[in-house]
Amino acid sequence: MAIKVVTDSTADLPTDLVDRWGITVVPAYVVMDDVNYRDGVDITADEFYRRLASSPRLPTTAQPSVADFQSVYQELVGQGHSILSIHISGRLSGTFNSAEQARASLGDSADIRVVDSRLASISVGLNALTAARMASEGKTMDEIVSQLSRDLSQTSTFFMLDTLELLQKGGRIGKAQAFMGSLLNVKPILGLQDGEVVPIERQRNLRRGVGRLAEMVRGSAPLKALAIMHSTDQTMSNQLRADLSDLLPDSEIVSARLGAALGVYVGPNTVGVALVRQ
């Protein structure tokens, strides 16, 4: 009997970390060219971004179904485990909702906590890792949940997009709508606040934007956890990682790939950071 951590594919956790910490990842769905794919299972990030450029219609996404969560929960509960299920912001996706419905359907005898992280991508992943690590140390559910609630409030996500077009068409642009435009070449840096996308600032090119992202991370130090994410351009994320290598031991900095489900909204050339302050 142990505490098992469940998250969804939009947490963009690298496979080696998922395996090492025994985390269960429930895939979101990506519909591309009229075919329904499980994010990270039926379609890799590489394949997704390669096809995105030539896809005649914009791909869409759907959250995992209630049944998807039910079967994952049932299996873990059947093995005698308690479950901590942490997910992408309920304001950006219906995933939390599906998970919550699945939990409710299984009744009170199953010990399941479902958490709306109010975050997205690897910033969810970093917190799922913390939970899994604490579970492996034998911490109780209450201890883990209390640490999570503190950590979530200290987590920041900043990301720079090449274009806001996909985010807008996908209906996730929120207040970052203010940064839409095509007359001038600018790269928007966005963040997450109260579970929604918010505009932070605009830079004149990706290179300067990467520099600003590094400054933002430094401004948040000392850090407990740090992750660098990218969609297609690993050069930028490698550079960021190198720039920030003095902030944490190298083995603790996570490099994450934005998968297909979030790729539908952020598109190519996205780079970003997720951090948890000490």
Partner 1 sequence: MSHLTSDDLRQAFAAGTEALAEHRDAINALNVFPVPDGDTGTNMLLTMRTTMEHCPTADGKTIGEVAHQLADGAFWGARGNSGVILSQFLKGFTQAFRSLEVGYGSDLARAFHEGQEAAYGAVGKPVEGTMLTVMASMASAVQSSLDRGAEEDPRILWQTAFESGKEATALTPTQLPVLREAGVVDAGGMGVVVFLGGALGYLKGQDDEELGSVVASGYLAPSSGSRPSLDADYLDLVEHSDWGYCTQFVISGESLAPEVIRADFAGMSDSAVVMGDEEKVRVHVHLLDPGTALSYGAALGQLGQIDIQNMTEQNRGFVAGHRETPKGEALAVVAVALGEGFAALFREIGCSAVVSGGQTMNPSVKEILDAVQSVGAEDTIILPNNKNVAFAAQQAAEMTPGVHVVLSDSAPQGVAALLAFNPAEPVEQNIAAMEAALLEVVSIEVTQAVRPVAINGLQVAEGDYIGLRDGDLVAADKTPKRALESVLAMADLSGDSVVTLYLGADTPQEDGEGLQQELESNIPGIQVDLVYGGQPHYHYLASVE
The binding track of 189-228 with respect to partner 1, each residue x by CB under 8 A or -, is ----x----xxxxx-xx-xx--------------------
34 touches partner 1 by CB under 8 A: yes
Smallest distance from the beta carbon of 268 to partner 1, in angstroms?
19
Going from the C-alpha of 214 to that of each of 68, 143, 149, 158, 188, the distances in angstroms are 38, 32, 26, 10, 15
Among 183, 249, 251, 278, binds partner 1 (CB under 8 A): 183
Contact between 94 and partner 1 by CB under 8 A: the answer reads yes
Q: Which is nearer to partner 1, 14 or 211 (CB)?
A: 211
Task: Measure the CA–CA gap between 225 and 273, rounded to whole angstroms.
Answer: 11
The single residue listed with the structure tokens 């997704």 is 48
Note whether 184 binds partner 1 by CB under 8 A. Answer: yes
Dist CA 260 CA 60 (whole Å) = 10
Angle in degrees, CA 183, 189, 194, rounded to 5: 125
Question: Which CB atom, from 26 or from 132, has the smaller least distance to partner 1?
Answer: 26
- Confirm if 44 and 122 have CB atoms less than 8 A apart: no
Q: Is 41 in the site for partner 1 (CB under 8 A)?
A: no
Nearest Cα neighbor of 252 from 241, 236, 240 is 241
Nearer to partner 1, 22 or 181 (CB): 181
* Binding test (CB under 8 A) with partner 1, winner from 14, 17, 31, 239: 31
Long-range contacts of 184-188 (CB under 8 A, 24+ apart): 187/160, 187/161, 187/162, 188/160, 188/161, 188/164
CA–CA separation, 18 and 178 (whole Å): 37
SS3 category, 136: helix
Applying CB under 8 A, the span of 40-48, 66-74, 107-115, 118-126 interacting with partner 1 comes to 66-74
Q: For partner 1, give the closer residue by CB, 83 or 99.
A: 99
**Contacts (CB under 8 A) with partner 1, residues 144-173:** 170-172
Residue 66 lies near partner 1 (rule: CB under 8 A): yes
Mutual angle of helices 234-243 and 206-220, in 10-degree steps: 40
CB within 8 Å of 170: residues ≥ 6 apart: 58, 60, 61, 264, 265
CB of 94 to partner 1, least distance (A): 7
Under 8 Å between Cβ of 48 and 60: no
**Closest CB to partner 1 among residues 14, 191:** 191
**Nearer residue to partner 1 within complex by CB, 81 or 187:** 187
Closer to partner 1 by Cβ: residue 148 or 190: 190
Binding of partner 1 by 97 (CB under 8 A) = yes
Rounded to a whole number of angstroms, the minimum distance from the CB of residue 246 to partner 1 is 23
In angstroms, give the least distance from the CB of 179 to partner 1. 8
Specify whether the CB–CB gap between 119 and 88 falls below 8 A. Answer: yes
Q: Quick one: which of 253, 277, 256 has its CA closest to 266?
A: 256
Residues that bind partner 1 (CB under 8 A): 31, 34, 36, 60, 62-68, 94, 97-98, 101, 170-172, 175, 177-178, 180-186, 193, 198-202, 204-205, 207-208
